[in-house]
Structures are given as structure tokens and as C-alpha cells.
Structure 1
């Protein structure tokens, strides 16, 4: 059987046994039946299928002594005390290590968070320690089982592995953040309390001045969870007003990530929101109606502009991809005084961006402020947007022979698009003049002839 046996990962146990039985019946020496059975054996173990494992053993399937470390890349269902005990009783070595120094204890934690409960991990760790595994042994990266248990948020496992009377490294919070992993499973209120109780310094800082508040807010993705952790850290005297070496404070991060509950809490404990806050942010998580209202109530200037003249309307429309959400935010910003017709230093208006982003609801709203608009920018618009704009009186083909005009190129991309837009564009005088002139013939070589014919037929 090929190594991609993961195709059987979702097969029920009895079905897997039937598949194994059929494979063994039809396999000949050319198919390497022993290798097939070994592959099925690893799969059955990984799935936690005891019946399938026992059946394969009756077929004489060998059990490699290093099986427990080979399984580290498999799903977590084998990471139970009962399965490990069975494998050890049948010849697996609990004290084996990989060539890079990873022990079975390290293997237990590899991707365990995917489908293994903390209770299962704890019982498996206890069994392995009883079998002689060294809980203090570091892997090739210098990580001990205790450190990995903390990283993955397993408090009960960390409590078990913690040496009585021996405090954890005081700078552990900083070193835990060293990897800059997307997941911070240790970043919960209960784990932080456990770590501080055991000697970890909640006031430590990274080399660039990030406090634990900065770290938490950079990596947590849930407002309520972040609020719970922030409250704990403030109770441990983390300074909610402190800036890192880039001048970023925790409230900056809370706003740009859209954590309105955290931002409110930080303001209540003294955090300051500078008037120009919005033009200093790196992310646009603040682009929600409730957050904007909160910022205005706290004297943040939503009429501020970036150095290239972008208003908050420009920034919002560049970052939001959902038409309805964008419309809600645009309406709020306009209600607070943002100019819906204002262009930036490149001549781009909010309508230009809405058209390029195919935000028809936003474009319809913005057109209500002014309809005599020429969208002569080289925008790449979808046919539906072009149709909408033309039907609403917008000149989408400027008085120019510039064949980089994106509307023309969009129209000529496919027969379907040309057929779709022909009735609309043929009512546009300048477009008709192009079709009647020589320009289109001179440039027809750039496009398949049938596209040109679709547009030119019936154009006179």
C-alpha cells in the first residue's frame, strides 16, 4: 500500500478491517504484503482502532520497536495510555528517541492539540514516566516536555511535570514568545496564573520592549478571551499605558485588532487614545461601526488623513471585502463628516475603490452624492460593476484613445463579457465612436477577432 494511507483516515473501524482483509487476500509478493500490513497497522494505531490492531497482529504484522516515535506525525488518537501500554506490551520501546533526539514524551505532544484531550495526554505522560521516560530530557531544540506542555496550554500536565520546589524560569513568557507562533495556547488566564504562581515574571519584556500585554494582544484572536487575559495581567501590575520601542501601546493593538471590549477596559484604567490614532494603525480591525462610534466618543479624529491623502473612507474600502459590512462602515464615517467625494493625492475617490472592489452597494450609496462622475482611472472592474455604473450614468470610458483603458480590456477579455456588456456600452457615445473609428482596427491584433466582431456587429 502506498504511503498516502491517510485516505483511509475517516474510515470506520469495521470497514477498515474489511479493507485490510481484502487487501491481504489479493496481495501477492509483487505488492509487498508485509509493507502493506505495516502501513495499515500504523493507521489503525493512529486511529485508536484496537480491534483492527489486534486483527493485524493475528496476521503476523511486525511491530517496529521505534513505532512510538514514528507515530508523532499521525493523528492524536493513539496518544492514550491504553494504546501505548498495548504497544509496549507487544514490543514497542518506550525509551526510544528519533535521530534528532526527540523522545516518546516529545512525540506525545506533536500536533496533539488537534484531536487529543488534555486528560488523555496527562494519562499517557504519567504512563511513559512510569515506564522510565525522562521528563527533564530536552529535544533537539532544547525543549523539555514541561515547556511543550506549557506552550500547548496543558495546565494539568505542566503541574504533573513540574519539579516540586523548583521555580520555572522567570523570563519564560519572553522565551515562549520567541517563536512568534500564530497559536498561543498558553495564553489563557488560568495558565498565566499558574505560571506566575510558579515563579514566571509577568513584568518581563522582549528585546524590542513588548510587554506581556503587547504579546497577548498581538496573537489572541478573540475579544472576550483577550479581555479576560488583559484583566489578569493588569492585576499583576502590567502597565496598560506602556509603549514598546515602536511607540505602540496595548490600546493601539486592541483598536487595530478590533478588540472593542479590551479597548474599553484599557481606557477605563487610564489608556490614552491620541486624536490621530487611526492613521498610525497597521491593521484595519477597527473598521466596524461599534468601534468607530467608540473611537469618536473618545475624541479620536475620524477625519484624519494619511500622508498620501487617504481618508478613513479610502482605508476602509481598501481593507474590507464584504459589501454589506463596508456599506455599514461607510455610512457611519459619512455621518461623522467624512467626505464621500474626496480624492487622495493620486486622484482616487472612495467610489473608485468601491468600483474596483466590486462593492455595488457602496457604489450605489456614494453615487447618491454625485452622479456626474467620470471613472477614467485604469480600474479593473467586473462586468457587473461596469453595467451598474453605466446604467447609473457614470462615464466609464474617458475621452482618450489610451488602449490601456481597463474598461475596454475587461470588455474584450471573453466573448461572454463582450455579449453581456455590448447593449450597455453601445449606448455610450464615446465607445461607439471608438468602434466606428480606426483605433479599434489598429489594435484588434491584441484581441481575438471574434471578440471584436461581437462588439462591432449591429454597432452602426
Structure 2
């Protein structure tokens, strides 16, 4: 704190990035020192500046889980919906950091937008539940072209998948790559999610933008039980993708003898 005050008193530009592209304010938010954050803001730091590391001060504070700094930045007028260089909002950052409800609630109270990313990282079910309860559009495609359900399916999070379905998610809605939740689940290799989606009416033969079907995805992931489940549900075992590959050629390339035998 003393050294920071001294540098500022000597005329240091408080908005100047270092050699790694990080600004003093983002660095202080990452470090979790509220007094330094307060000092920098008082000296004119831009609370919405995206640094060379593509972070904003608020996303940095949210990732670090520092509620006091988050509150300070909000009080100072930072944009709670600002997307950083990674297409991440503060609310997304808070969820990815595995934070409990306090930070999420702060952002929601300020109309924070999730960008509807519910992905394979360390999100907690109670955070997702709270965001949905605040009116989040569960069917929206995000900046990475994923829907919440395709992301959760690929990540293998059964509770979040069930939660999204219970909230009315269309289980046959494709994401920006033409992928259905079922194909994503087959990639992720979670049999319970695959079974749930099929029970909810997922199309077992839908091909994505690359012509990949749930069966092809399951063959790539090497999950014999999912392959058997899809076959039992009547999927087309001969359907080729845009490269002309069939589930059998994929299984042969992967060297999975049991799947080859099933096909």
C-alpha cells in the first residue's frame, strides 16, 4: 500500500498497462487488496478499462471471489454487463470461479447478464438456479455458439442438465454449430445424461453442421454403453458425416474393437 501510494504521488500513470498488458487496477483486483483498489479509483483509474490480458477490473474481482471489491466497483459505476476480451461477463466470471451466492446476487441486483453460459467448468447448481430464477433466457446461444444445455451436457453435469430441462429448455434446440444437446452429451460420455435426453424426446439421428450424429460422437469418445444405447433406440448406424465418415470408420480409426463389433 505504501509503495503504491508513493508511485502515484510521483506521477505514475494509474491507467498504464505493464509489459504483460495488465493495468494497476486489474492487478489490484486480482490481488484482492481493497485499499489499493480504492486508492487507484480515487486517483482516476478507469473502472471499465479492458487491459492487455483482456480482463476488466470487475471480471478479475469476480474470478477472485472478492465480494468487497466487487461491491466497491459496482458502487463506482462499473458496467456489470461489460464483456471482456474472452467474451466473458462479470456474472459468468463469478460463476466460473465457483463463488457462492453473494457476488452473483450483487451482479443480478444490478441487472448482470449471464450471456447464458452454463459450461463444463466448476459452476455450482445453486448459482445456476439463482440466475435462471432471475429470468435468464435458457435457450440463448452465447458468444462461443453454445447453448447452456449443450455446454452442460458436454461437461457431464447431470444436475444442471436436469435443472435446465425442468426450466423448459428445448432438448432438440441446436447451438451455433448445429449441435444438439444429445450430440454434446455423447461427446461428454455421460450415459445418464444421454438416457435422460432420449427419454425427453431427443432426435437420435440429428446431424450437426459437420454431419456428426450422436452415434458418431459416441464412437469418437469411445463409450461402448452409449453406442449400445443409441443402437437400441434405432439410430442409423450407416449415416455418414460431411467427410464421408461413418460410425464404423470412426470406431475403426479409434481402435475400439468392442464398438466395431457392436456396429
Ranked by relative contact order (alpha carbons within 8 Å, sequence separation 6 or more), the top structure is 2
Match of 2:240 in 1: 344
Shift of the alpha carbon at 1:246?
Answer: 11
Q: How many residue pairs get matched? A: 242
Give the direction of change, closer, same or farther, for the CA distance of 1:273–1:136 in structure 2 (3 Å limit).
farther
Computing the radius of gyration over CA atoms, which structure comes out larger, 1 or 2? 1
Cα offset for 1:134?
A: 4.3
1:201 aligns with 2:201: no
Q: Structure 1's 149 and 106: CA in aligned 2 closer, same or farther, altered over 3 A?
A: farther
Alpha-carbon distance in 2 for matches of 1:178, 1:309: 31
1:299 aligns with 201
Query: Per the alignment, do residues 349 and 147 of structure 1 end up closer, same or farther by CA in structure 2, a change over 3 Å counting?
Result: closer
The structure 2 residue matched to 1:110, chosen from 27, 36, 44, is: 27
Alignment deviations for residues 158-181 of structure 1 (CA, whole Å, 9 cap, x no partner): 33x358xx5745x522x1455425
The question of 1:270 aligning with 2:185 is answered: no
Tell me if structure 1 keeps the 8 A contact 2:118–2:151.
yes
Query: Which residue in 2 is equivalent to 1:221?
Result: 121
Name the structure 1 match of 2:65.
153
Residue 276 of structure 1: how far off its partner (Å): 7.8
Question: Tell me, what secondary structure is at the counterpart of 2:136?
Answer: coil
- Secondary structure of the 1:172 match is coil
- Aligned residue for 2:44? 137
Describe the SS at the equivalent of 1:93: helix
- 1:276 and 1:227, CA in 2 relative to 1: closer, same or farther beyond 3 A? same
1:180 corresponds, among 66, 84, 87, to 87
Give the Cα–Cα distance (whole angstroms) in 2 for the partners of residues 275 and 201 of structure 1: 26
Q: TM-score, normalised by structure 2?
A: 0.67
1:101 to 6, 12, 16: 16
**Partner of 1:24 in structure 2?**
none
Would you say the 8 A contact 1:308–1:344 is kept in 2? no
- Show the counterpart of 1:358: 255
Asked whether the 8 Å contact 2:204–2:233 carries over to 1, the reply is yes
Give the whole-Å Cα distance in 2 for the aligned partners of 1:112 and 1:148. Answer: 6
- Measure, in 2, the Cα distance between the counterparts of 1:311 and 1:282: 9
Greater helix percent: which structure?
Answer: 1
Measured in 2, the distance between the counterparts of 1:328 and 1:111 equals 49
- How far is 1:148 from its partner? 4.4
| 1:280 alignment partner, SS class | coil
Do the aligned partners of 2:171 and 2:202 also contact (CA within 8 Å) in 1? Answer: yes
Q: Distance in 2 between matches of 1:147 and 1:129?
A: 14
By how many angstroms is 1:156 displaced? Answer: 2.2
| Aligned mates of 2:126, 2:259 — CA distance in 1 | 36
**2:53 matched to which residue of 1?**
none
SS of the residue corresponding to residue 217 of structure 1 reads coil
1:409-439 deviations in Å (ceiling 9; x for gaps)? xxxxxxxxxxxxxxxxxxxxxxxxxxxxxxx
Q: 1:250 to 1:109 in 2, by over 3 A?
A: closer
TM-score, reference length from structure 1: 0.42
Calculate the aligned-residue CA RMSD, in Å.
4.5
Q: Which residue of 2 aligns with 1:457?
A: none
Distance 1:276 1:145 in 2: 34
C-alpha separation in 2, matches of 1:140 and 1:195? 15
Unaligned runs of 5+ in 2: 51-55
Pair 1:230–1:94, CA change in 2 (3 A): same
What is the aligned partner in structure 1 of residue 218 from structure 2? 316
